[in-house]
Amino acid sequence: MKAASLLLLLLFGSAWPASAQAPPDGAPFAVTFSDVQRLAGTYEGTLGGKYRIRLQLSGSDSALTGQYYYLSKGQPLQLRGQLNSSGLVLLRETVGADTVATGWFSGKLDAGPLLADQWLRGEWYNRSGTTLMPFQLQRMGGSARPTTAKARIGSKTYLMAFEGPVVTVPDASVTKLLAQCFSLESLIGQDLASLRAEQEEKRREGMHGGTERLDYAVNYNAHGLLSLTTQTTGTGASVWYDHRTQNIDLNTGFPVVLEDEIQPEKLAQFLALGQQKMQKITRAYVPEQDGFLSEEDEQGVLGQQFGLHSTQEYTVSAAGLAFDHPVSYDGLSNFVWKVLTGNFKVEFTHAELARFLKPDSPLRRLTQR
């Protein structure tokens, strides 16, 4: 068994198909965050020389996550794997939340000086290892003027109280992908049948509680980028709200993950500027609370640190990006957390952000006229 096969066995708890012939390992090297980030991005090409696919990779430490879909189907398949010390990209394919592997990718990035020269090449194997197909995927540049400038957005209402977006674009495969992304099940974790049964049972029993409403708002829809926030409302011991913002490249249907858009060599500078902005917010916020916060809470608020975790939830607007920093510190009660949540939005103008972005980031379109 080759080294790549053994690594896949250790990584995924399932043997690499016996027929798999992994690319030969080169000279080993220590995998860095920069190495993984060089792989992050969107690729398009063929599987088996005839099936067109589009694939996105996101990187953190040496781990890789992502998804891909066949352009003919628009149904996402999940990817998880690793970049090993020989530069080999190893990915395990699954469907949705299922943990059973449906296939594996093994390949390497051939990186030329230009985007057009960057190819992810290797072989794909099916679950049983009986089918082997080569893949050849070219990196897609995200900063160029998009073929799709904006989406058409309609609404669909379920059971009178659950309103979700219907997003369509000229690319049929992307429209199919977005239909799944904004499906009722994806937004609230229930399909229509189970939601209807739950609502009917609550009416019969005279009960209240659980998820009761779904709404959405469009933050930005231009330059091939969509920023859309959904809000779920429910009741339990009290009324609760859950906000989720999705920022999507309309030319691929994939989410725009901020961590993957920053140049690794400029990450420290980006975080430092974010921390400066954070300190201004917290120092202004504490005096305004008029004694509501305890001394422990005040110190906790003043000690907030802007990091990559602060960028996981953000909205795009015509003015810039607003990062919704999640407040956390030792001793933070659930009641105070609810009060603090949403009050620490760190804002970057498009011009401020642009100097930290990778050259091919789709977020660079935000400065285009």
pLDDT digits (tens, 9 = 90+) for 66-108: 999 999 999 999 999 999 888 899 999 999 877 889 999 999 9
Residue 213 corresponds to which tokens in the numbers above?
């409403």
Helix, strand, coil content of the chain in percent (nearest 5): 30, 35, 35
Question: From residue 109, how far is each of 38, 81, 182, 347 by CA, in Å?
Answer: 9, 15, 32, 35
166 and 101 in one domain? no
Residue 340 falls inside a structural domain: yes
Residues of the chain with pLDDT > 70: what percent? Answer: 91
pLDDT at 33 over 90: no
3 state DSSP class of 190: coil
58 and 31 in one domain? yes
Domain boundary among 105, 139, 173: 139
Give dist(CA 329, CA 22) in Å, integer: 46
Phi, psi (5° rounding) for residue 335?
-65, -50
pLDDT of res. 164? 97
Residue 93 corresponds to which tokens in the numbers above?
């394919």
Whole-number mean pLDDT of the chain?
Answer: 89
Residue 147 falls inside a structural domain: no
pLDDT of res. 93? 96
- The answer to whether residues 260 and 59 touch, using CB atoms and an 8 Å cutoff, is yes
Q: Which of 232, 205, 198 is nearest to 217 (CA)?
A: 232
Lookup result for tokens 């810039």: 320
Residue 298 falls inside a structural domain: yes
Q: Which domain holds residue 299?
A: 258-367
Residue 348 corresponds to which tokens in the numbers above?
């970057």
107 and 234 in one domain? no
| CB proximity list for 361: less than 8 A, separation 6 or greater | 142, 143, 261
Long-range contacts from 89-98, C-beta under 8 angstroms, 24+ separation: 89/39, 89/64, 89/120, 89/122, 90/4, 90/7, 90/8, 90/11, 91/64, 91/66, 92/8, 92/11, 92/12, 92/14, 93/68
pLDDT digits (tens, 9 = 90+) for 289-310: 988 999 999 999 999 999 999 9
**CATH code of the domain in which 116 resides:** 2.40.128.30
pLDDT of res. 293? 95
Residue 148 falls inside a structural domain: no
Q: Which of 187, 231, 240, 185 is nearest to 209 (CA)?
A: 240
Q: For 313, which DSSP code?
A: S
pLDDT of res. 34? 85
**CATH code of the domain in which 294 resides:** 3.90.640
171 and 296 in one domain? no
3 state DSSP class of 236: coil
245 and 275 in one domain? no
Domain boundary among 232, 249, 266: 249
133 and 7 in one domain? yes
pLDDT digits (tens, 9 = 90+) for 99-139: 889 999 999 998 777 766 889 999 999 988 888 999 999 99
DSSP letter string over 37-65? HHH-EEEEEEETTTEEEEEEEEEETTEEE
DSSP letter string over 258-293? GGGTB-GGGHHHHHHHHHHHHHHHHHHHGGGGTT-S
Give dist(CA 58, CA 308) in Å, integer: 14
Lookup result for tokens 């091939």: 224
Mean pLDDT lowest for which of 172-176, 209-213, 270-274?
Answer: 209-213
Residue 93 falls inside a structural domain: yes
For residues 233-246, give the mean pLDDT.
Answer: 89
240 and 270 in one domain? no
Residue 200 corresponds to which tokens in the numbers above?
């009917």
Angle, CA 260 vertex, CA 257 and CA 266 arms, to 5°: 130
Residue 149 falls inside a structural domain: no
68 and 122 in one domain? yes
219 and 124 in one domain? no
66 and 19 in one domain? yes
Give dist(CA 351, CA 70) in Å, integer: 36
Which stretches of the chain are DSSP H helices? 3-12, 33-39, 172-181, 184-188, 192-205, 267-285, 295-302, 334-340, 350-354
Lookup result for tokens 């000229």: 170
135 and 7 in one domain? yes
Domain count, the chain: 3
Query: HSE of 122 in the Cβ direction (CA atoms, 13 Å)?
Result: 22
Residue 287 falls inside a structural domain: yes
pLDDT band, residue 6 (cuts 50/70/90):
very low
Domain boundary among 111, 139, 167: 139
Phi, psi (5° rounding) for residue 366?
-65, -20
pLDDT band, residue 27 (cuts 50/70/90):
low
pLDDT of res. 207? 83
Residue 144 falls inside a structural domain: no
130 and 108 in one domain? yes
